[in-house]
Amino acid sequence: MNKLVVWRIGSISERKFIYLLSLFIGLLSGFAALILKNLIHFVAEKITSLIAVDSISYWYLIYPMIGIFLTVIFVKFVIKENIGHGVAKILFSISRKNSKLKPHNTYSSMIASSLTIGLGGSVGAEAPIVLTGASIGSNLARFFKLNNKYVTLMVGCGAAGAIAGIFNAPIAGIVFTLEVLMLDLTMVYLVPLLISAVSATALSYFFMGEDVLLRFTNVLPFQIENVGYYIILGVFTGLLGFYFTRSAMFLEAKFSSIKSWIYRLLIGGFVLSLLIFIFPPLWGEGYSSIISIFNGEGTSLFNHTLFFHWQDSPYAMLIFLGALLIFKVFAMSATTGSGGIGGIFAPTLFLGAVGGYFLIKLLNTLYSLGLPEDNFALAGMAGMMAAVMHAPLTGIFLTAEITSGYGMFIPLIITSTVSYLTIMRFEPHSVYTKRLAQSGELITHHKDKAVLRMMELKQLIEVDFEKLHPSATLRDLVKAISRSDRNLFPVVDENGILKGMVKLSEVKNLIFEPELYDSVKVKDIMYMPEFFISPYDNMEMVAEKFESSGRYNLAVIDDGKYLGFISRAVVFSKYRKTLQNVSHD
């Protein structure tokens, strides 16, 4: 293997190799997306073939519990590591682990999520497959000894390929990576992302053609008189996204507070199974419900439910849709909180489609407006992505691509923009970034913090300062000045404890008074610094201390013991070099 790496370094230029590797990662990510979707379909087909389709089925009370149980056993006793919240895990790896993802992430999320979703878990497969693609990129980049900035780029290529492959939407894959993972929008980054996304899409087309998750062609043309309704839809999805984000965080925190994994599994599995039994559209990813809405068969959501006797009542339908909007987040949180593996991408699309359909059906029922319900359901999907993921461009381009055209482009832009502006009034972080932001670990969205976190404090400590003992005389200080190029002199006792400092600018008058050399002691002219640095401080704290103190040098003290100094100039120089390493022209 080492010979292969050596051959690569000697035979292929770095840029050409990046392009070749991005192509390979795109193909692998697209192939992984195909495998996962077929795994989910295989599990679901084998199980749902046992479920009676002509009546209410009590199997809904059993299968989700089994799926979560199998997932928990696999994760806890085989993988032995938490693999949930795939996108947040990628952001954390970029922020704190130099984009390193473990090798098992290339397959573990696929197996776990297929068990969860195939048996009814109310989550999506997109986050697991994005984590899989990102892990493929990370591990291949590190295998070929690429530096950190290219490892991060390959993580992005894997994520772009995964989204592009699963939806046949290359532009959405690229935009998702740039908008959610916050990679640099430069040509050096953009070209590999394009290669990965297009190669994954081509592979998906080769094996599946148009038979992908979502594909809609019967879209009515945009009508300018409906602009006001799309604005209303944007506000509605923004508020719905706020409810979704806060509720998901609250409910998952409640599940996390349950210490026993067995109790979490039993409680979450029971809640999920009960909700699916009452509201069967909450089963799995929910794409079949979205397709029913777009096919003009929204009333079919009533089929095989406890409420099918009222399916001809428009008001009963509205109440049912409203209940789906409320309880989807409960079903999703019960799935992930109890140990199931899956993401929020599909639940977001589900809520967007159902939310748009609900709002316009309500207006049409009350005022007989005749608004196109499928168009507003599409716009609702874009609006929810803008709100929940804080990714308005991803919502716009994904929805546009799955409709095979841009006839809906203007309403998508209106809805997504209004939705994003609405939720930003209440929630500054997306559901992906909120946990990391709360713990201070989100730096992917702040390049300044990212660069500071990459710098090691211990590597910046300078020790070439002349040390003095408190009992030393002015004569000793003059000798130290003659030997040193520094203007600071730490005063340290026999145990290495910092007792004070002498600054050259404050004693320069004394050094021209030879008669004082033996009578003046260093302890009489030293001072104790007001500001100092602990070796356990991070570089953000160091930068803040330089800013607040106005000093050019700060002593590093560990429990009173002197270790050295850190200078503002060295920090700035290291900052510039690190910034160059993580940025591209």
**One-letter amino acid for residue 448 of the chain:** D
The answer on pLDDT for 403 being more than 60 is: yes
**Is-contact 65 264, C-beta < 8 A?**
no
Render pLDDT for 531-568 as a digit per residue (tens, 0 to 9).
889 888 888 788 888 888 888 889 999 988 999 999 88
Alpha-carbon span 471 to 493, nearest angstrom: 9
**One-letter amino acid for residue 522 of the chain:** V
- Tell me which residue of 59, 102, 100 sits closest to 81, measured CA to CA: 102
Q: Does 484 map to a domain? A: yes
Q: For residue 385, what is the DSSP state?
A: H
> H helices within 441-558, ranges in order?
447-454, 474-483, 504-507, 522-525, 539-549
**Is-contact 436 91, C-beta < 8 A?**
yes
Render pLDDT for 322-373 as a digit per residue (tens, 0 to 9).
999 999 999 999 999 999 999 899 999 999 999 999 999 999 999 888 888 8
CB neighbourhood size of 8 (10 A) = 16
Q: 229 and 378: one domain?
A: yes
Q: What is the pLDDT of residue 42?
A: 80
**Who contacts 177 (Cβ-Cβ below 8 Å, separation ≥6)?**
156, 157, 159, 160, 163, 183, 193
* 52, 448, 522 from 516: Cα distances, Å: 102, 50, 12
Q: Does 404 map to a domain? A: yes
The answer on pLDDT for 430 being more than 50 is: yes
Q: Does 111 map to a domain? A: yes
Q: What is the pLDDT of residue 576?
A: 77
Q: How confident is the model at residue 399 (pLDDT cuts 50, 70, 90)?
A: confident
Render pLDDT for 478-509 as a digit per residue (tens, 0 to 9).
899 888 888 889 999 988 899 999 988 888 88
Q: 257 and 354: one domain?
A: yes
> H helices within 403-538, ranges in order?
409-424, 434-438, 447-454, 474-483, 504-507, 522-525
Q: 419 and 400: one domain?
A: yes
Q: What is the pLDDT of residue 287?
A: 87
Q: 85 and 202: one domain?
A: yes
Q: 296 and 394: one domain?
A: yes
CATH at 112: 1.10.3080.10
Render pLDDT for 272-304 as a digit per residue (tens, 0 to 9).
999 998 998 998 888 888 888 888 787 778 777
Expressed in percent and rounded to 5, the helix, strand and coil fractions of the chain are 65, 5, 30
Q: What is the pLDDT of residue 515?
A: 84
**One-letter amino acid for residue 77 of the chain:** F
Q: 346 and 470: one domain?
A: no
Q: What is the pLDDT of residue 585?
A: 46
Q: 131 and 240: one domain?
A: no
Could you give phi then psi for residue 497, rounded to 5 degrees? -80, 130
Could you give phi then psi for residue 80, rounded to 5 degrees? 60, 35
Q: What is the mean pLDDT of residues 402-424?
A: 88
Q: 302 and 359: one domain?
A: yes
Alpha-carbon span 58 to 334, nearest angstrom: 19
Q: What is the pLDDT of residue 54?
A: 45
Alpha-carbon span 493 to 397, nearest angstrom: 66
Q: For residue 60, what is the DSSP state?
A: G
296: left (phi over 0), alpha (psi -120 to 50) or beta: left
Range of the domain at 489: 450-582
Q: What is the pLDDT of residue 504?
A: 87
Q: 277 and 377: one domain?
A: yes
Q: How many CA atoms lie within 13 A of 90 on its CB side?
A: 36
Mark which of 445, 466, 496 sits at the end of a domain. Answer: 445
Q: 327 and 295: one domain?
A: yes
Render pLDDT for 117-143 as a digit per residue (tens, 0 to 9).
988 899 998 899 999 999 999 999 998
Mark which of 384, 415, 445 sits at the end of a domain. Answer: 445
Residue that has been written with the tokens 């209940």 in this structure: 323
Q: What is the pLDDT of residue 582?
A: 56
Mark which of 422, 445, 468 sits at the end of a domain. Answer: 445
Higher pLDDT, 15 or 57: 15
Q: How confident is the model at residue 464 (pLDDT cuts 50, 70, 90)?
A: confident
Residue 319 class from Cβ within 10 Å (0-12 exposed, 13-18 middle, 19+ buried)? middle
Percentage of residues of the chain with pLDDT beyond 70: 90
**One-letter amino acid for residue 430 of the chain:** S
* 36, 125, 132, 342 from 84: Cα distances, Å: 16, 11, 12, 7
Q: Does 508 map to a domain? A: yes
**Who contacts 578 (Cβ-Cβ below 8 Å, separation ≥6)?**
451, 454, 455
Q: 398 and 511: one domain?
A: no
Helix axes 86-96, 148-167, angle to 10 degrees: 170
Q: Does 495 map to a domain? A: yes
Q: What is the pLDDT of residue 361?
A: 93
- Tell me which residue of 307, 323, 321, 411 sits closest to 365, measured CA to CA: 321
Q: Does 213 map to a domain? A: no
Beta pairing, strands 553-558 & 532-533: parallel
> Which DSSP string corresponds to 417-428?
HHHHHHHHTT-S
CATH at 520: 3.10.580.10
Q: Does 479 map to a domain? A: yes
Q: Does 549 map to a domain? A: yes
Q: For residue 487, what is the DSSP state?
A: S
Q: What is the pLDDT of residue 579?
A: 66
Q: How many domains does the chain have?
A: 3
Q: Which run of H or of E encompasses 305?
A: none
Q: 402 and 466: one domain?
A: no
The answer on pLDDT for 383 being more than 60 is: yes
